[in-house]
């Protein structure tokens, strides 16, 4: 091959290579485009693809376009790991979602008028403030526990409101919001005091604190009462956080009966800027199942 042919041939190869690189970059940019809403996976959701290391799981989630991450069990992790996770989330630009401040499903707590129980709850809130500061978190989940079959319901409501007012007094100076989670009786948590969005709305309005809001888990509410969008609209001023899962099955969107594309469009159109936690399992195992979850969110986020 003469020099001119060599140069021309080389130029064609270089051009083809450049086109190939450009195409790959374009594909990568499409794949990694941030979602419209701040969907928050949790540790373990993508471990088949990312591995067991929580830092690598954060990196994988960010690479897929997720901009938030939540972890119910963050307080039980060693402090040095919490700090490592917080540093990496900050580097990746991931918003920290909820962790659980209090979630006893067996012991009657918020529905009681017991000074010892109130002291315990206040200590839980103080502990949550420490974790939140370390993690840069704005929200923490609170479950109000079981109801008391031996006490009139309205007295239990009054006790819950009073206990929550005291808890809010601890959280407000720190700027931390406890989000109260109504949980369904029929598939997962029979006998808990807080089950419905209107009930949570009533309680939050009575507590009247910026640090006491609703965690609207749309999976639980589909099981309990349905009517997702109208209830969302009526309680909007008191909703501080969302979690999701399809029903039946509590897996990713598109596997059940909830039209999450419409629901997410509604949330987006209302101007919601917070986090939406992926509080569900994967419908299929392994790497393929994890990729199916990501694909599902791309589909329902495509409004």
- Same domain for 186 and 254: yes
Domain count within the chain? 2
What is the reported pLDDT for 2? 46
Whether residues 1 and 115 fall in one domain: no
174 with 212, same domain? Answer: yes
Same domain, 69 and 207: yes
Three-class SS state of 69: strand
- What's the mean pLDDT when you consider all of the chain? 92
The model's confidence at residue 15, banded by pLDDT at 50, 70 and 90, is: very low
Alpha carbons 43 and 35: distance in angstroms, whole number: 19
- Confidence band of 120 (pLDDT split at 50, 70, 90): very high
Q: Is residue 254 domain-shared with residue 190, that is, in the same domain?
A: yes
Interatomic CA distance for residues 231 and 114, integer angstroms: 33
Q: Which residues span the domain enclosing 204?
A: 34-300
> Do both 159 and 64 map to the same domain?
yes
Same domain, 59 and 102: yes
Q: Looking at the structure, tell me whether residues 47 and 19 fall in a common domain.
A: no
Is 28 found in the same domain as 98?
no
Alpha carbon distance, N-terminus to C-terminus of the chain = 55
- 9 token code pair: 């041939």
Q: Taking the model in full, what pTM does it have? A: 0.90
In order, the DSSP letters of 129-165 are HHHHHHHT--EEEE---B--TTS-HHHHHHHHHHHHH
Going by pLDDT thresholds of 50, 70 and 90, the confidence category of residue 32 is confident
Rounded alpha-carbon distances, angstroms, from residue 240 to 14, 48, 64, 113, 165: 53, 32, 25, 27, 17
* Residue 28 in this model has a pLDDT that exceeds 90: no
| 8 and 91 together in one domain | no
Task: List beta partners, residue 213.
Answer: 179
151 touches 186 (CB < 8 A): no
Instruction: State both tokens at 213.
Output: 């809001």
CATH code for the domain in which residue 58 is found: 3.20.20.150
Q: Are residues 67 and 123 in the same domain?
A: yes
Q: Are residues 182 and 291 in the same domain?
A: yes
Torsional class of 271: left (φ above 0), alpha (ψ -120 to 50), beta (otherwise): left
């Amino acid at each position: 091959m003469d020099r001119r042919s060599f140069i021309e041939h080389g130029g064609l190869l270089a051009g083809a290579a450049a086109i190939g690189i450009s195409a790959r970059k374009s594909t990568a940019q499409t794949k990694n485009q941030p979602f419209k809403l701040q969907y928050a996976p949790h540790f373990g959701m993508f471990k088949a693809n990312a591995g067991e290391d929580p830092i690598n799981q954060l990196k994988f989630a960010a690479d897929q376009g997720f901009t938030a991450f939540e972890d119910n069990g963050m307080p039980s992790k060693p402090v040095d790991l919490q700090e490592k996770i917080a540093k990496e989330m900050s580097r990746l630009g991931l918003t920290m979602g909820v962790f659980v401040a209090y979630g006893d499903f067996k012991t009657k707590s918020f529905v009681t008028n017991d000074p010892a129980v109130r002291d315990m709850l206040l200590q839980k809130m103080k502990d949550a403030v420490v974790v939140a500061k370390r993690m840069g978190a704005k929200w923490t989940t609170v479950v109000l526990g079981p109801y008391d079959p031996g006490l009139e319901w309205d007295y239990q409501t009054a006790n819950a409101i009073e206990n929550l007012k005291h808890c809010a007094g601890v959280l407000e100076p720190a700027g931390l919001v406890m989000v109260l989670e109504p949980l369904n009786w029929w598939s997962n948590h029979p006998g808990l005091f807080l089950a419905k969005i209107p009930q949570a709305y009533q309680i939050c309005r009575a507590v009247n604190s910026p640090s006491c809001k609703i965690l609207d888990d749309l999976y639980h509410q589909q099981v309990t009462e349905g009517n997702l969008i109208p209830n969302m609209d009526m309680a909007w001023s008191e909703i501080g956080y969302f979690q999701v899962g399809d029903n039946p099955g509590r897996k990713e969107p598109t596997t059940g009966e909830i039209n999450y594309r419409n629901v997410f469009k509604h949330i987006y159109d209302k101007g919601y800027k917070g986090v939406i936690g992926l509080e569900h399992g994967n419908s299929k195992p392994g790497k393929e199942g994890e990729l199916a979850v990501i694909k599902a969110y791309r589909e329902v986020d495509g409004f």
